[in-house]
Amino acid sequence: MVSPTASLALELSTAKLAKVGQWQALCDDVLKVIVAHSAAALRPRTWLYLTTAAAETRSEPALKAVIAAGMDHVLPPHIRAEIALRLSTGQQQEAALEILLHDPALLLNPNLRMKCVAVLNRAVAQRADQSLTIRARDIRNRLFNRHAETPAARQALHGFVATPAIALQLSPQPEPLTIFNAAAIPPTDLAEIRQREADFSRRLHNPPLPRVRQYEDVFVNRQGQIWQADGTVLHDAGRLLVPSSLQAQTAADHVSEAVLAIERAGFYHWYAEWLPSLFWTLQASASEIPYLLHDQTPTYQLDALTMLRKNPFPLRRVGDALHVGRLYVADRHIACMGNWQAYAEGFGILADQALASTAERIYLTRRDTARRPLLNEAQLEVRLSQAGFHCVALSELTLAEQIGLVQGAGVVVAPHGASMVHLLGRGSGKTVFEIMPVLTRWISIRHNMVRISQLRGHRHALHVVRPNILNHEWSVDVGQVVDEIQRFAERKTPRL
């Protein structure tokens, strides 16, 4: 029997190991205690540290221990749900799903639903096991009250101007992706990056035509969710439909038609996905249809729409529920931009209003955000400034200044982040050096800037780093990175 004092000491020691990413040592220490005493010797937080360590090291004994703990009702429900979430983050989606199915009460607990939904979403998104995807999608649809027999939205009469797919002729990518520091990440991660590069390149040879879909007689809320009067969800926006929206629909205001423009995931998703999906509204036939926006719309969304439309434009702010006779929703996948001429007018309007910049070499810093902190970024900025780079935080600029800065630069260096989305605009053939913290779970999402360079014909390099999976802190060898940037900018780069 382990004393409470010893259990607490174990928790504190595992916390220290987790902070510095010593995952194998963490597994070894905790497993010794389990073997010598019992799993009951572990405090709940120690189980969470062990879960992360097991997923990182792929330790079979550790994985077996945390999966058993996740199914053990002795642990509090919120700890078991967190174990499932961490397993799914570490690419153990099947085990995570089994924990949820072992105790369906976790799925029904309103305080745990967001974690459970994240587990389901990751199981649906994984590509290794189709049967797992089908199971997770079925569970998610039942949880979200989505039905297979629900009629899909139909093709709207409005739409993008039909054009041939000519992106590759306009802006061919001058060379394949270059990857620096490749030994810092697992070979499987490196292979996935290469595979995603190849997949997107193939897709650009036959890009999907952008469509505008039309939903009829539906409700919309501030989350961008779409549902019918009977509660059937047509679009969940990755969240459960909140009860307040169902309650509000009986007294909801009505508009005859509207364009969905509600985006809450951040600037990248707005500028690369939602804003281009609205370019079809520049046609005279659609100019009077109001945009639906969140009732607390971020300033950058209003700024972008003001630049795009120039003149006052119709909009409607949405709260708990709004009834819409005809709701238009356009495709938002970046592959659709392979039909570049369908988007050229919109990006051209934005580019024409940009404030010109003379900076040829720029570094887009992340010092203005607490997310994914690059711990020694200050030192990197000093070295880059000495090398002639203009270091700037885009949050300090207006949208017109942001567009002009990136548009005018020939060499763009940045840690992975939303600021790089401006590479999507006018101009091709830039040299782009992206410093990328690579976690297996996020490769598909963080590959988005490489896709933009493939689409717009930029030379692109990645310097890859493995961050701490628990706190997402990371750092770089400043001298190495600056040397790689200079060599890549001078076209003296060895291929991997």
Distance CA 64, CA 463 (A): 35
DSSP state of 175: S
Half-sphere exposure in the Cβ direction for 484 (13 Å, CA): 24
Strands of the sheet with 431-437, listed across from one edge: 178-180, 459-465, 431-437, 411-415, 361-364, 390-392
CA dihedral 268, 271, 274, 278 (to 10 degrees): 180
What does DSSP say about strands 322-330 and 361-364: parallel, antiparallel, or unpaired? unpaired
Residue 121: its pLDDT value, please? 86
Nearest partner of 151 among 253, 226, 96, 99, judged by Cα: 226
**3-class DSSP state of 293:** strand
Supply the angle between the helices 341-352 and 299-309 in degrees, to the nearest 10: 100
Maximum alpha-carbon separation in the chain? 77
Alpha-carbon separation of residue 17 from 12, 20, 25, 28, 29 (angstroms): 9, 6, 7, 11, 10
Query: Any long-range contacts for 10-13 (C-beta under 8 Å, 24+ apart)?
Result: 10/41, 10/42, 10/43, 10/46, 11/43, 11/45, 11/46, 11/49
Nearest partner of 153 among 328, 321, 291, 334, judged by Cα: 328
At residue 184, what is the residue type? A
Distance CA 301, CA 70 (A): 42
Alpha-carbon separation of residue 7 from 4, 30, 66, 472 (angstroms): 5, 10, 17, 26
Residue 168: its pLDDT value, please? 43
Distance CA 3, CA 41 (A): 8
At residue 87, what is the residue type? L
Nearest partner of 143 among 110, 165, 173, judged by Cα: 110
* 8 A C-beta contact, residue 83 and residue 66: yes
**3-class DSSP state of 465:** strand
Q: How far is CA 329 from the centre of its chain?
A: 20
Tokens of 106: 């976790």
**3-class DSSP state of 319:** coil
- Phi, then psi, of 413 in degrees rounded to 5: -120, 140
The shares of helix, strand and coil residues in the chain, as percent rounded to the nearest 5, are 50, 15, 35
Who's near 280: CB < 8 A, 6+ residues apart?
Answer: 158, 159, 160, 161, 210, 212, 286, 330, 342
Provide CATH code, domain 167-207+352-489: 3.40.50
Distance CA 389, CA 363 (A): 6
* 8 A C-beta contact, residue 234 and residue 295: no
Half-sphere exposure in the Cβ direction for 45 (13 Å, CA): 12
Who's near 428: CB < 8 A, 6+ residues apart?
Answer: 170, 171, 456, 457, 458
Distance CA 92, CA 480 (A): 34
Give pLDDT tens digits along the chain (496 positions). 678 899 999 999 999 999 988 999 999 999 999 998 888 889 999 999 999 999 989 899 999 999 999 998 889 999 999 999 999 988 888 999 999 999 989 988 888 988 998 899 888 877 778 888 888 888 888 887 776 555 668 888 888 876 554 444 445 556 899 999 999 998 989 999 999 999 999 999 899 999 999 999 999 999 999 999 998 889 888 778 888 999 999 999 999 999 999 998 899 999 999 999 999 999 989 989 999 999 999 999 999 999 999 878 999 999 999 999 999 999 999 999 999 999 999 999 999 999 999 999 999 999 888 888 899 999 999 999 999 999 999 999 999 999 999 999 999 999 999 999 999 988 889 999 999 999 887 888 889 999 999 999 999 999 999 998 888 889 999 999 999 999 999 974 443 3
Residue 492: its pLDDT value, please? 45
Distance CA 348, CA 343 (A): 8
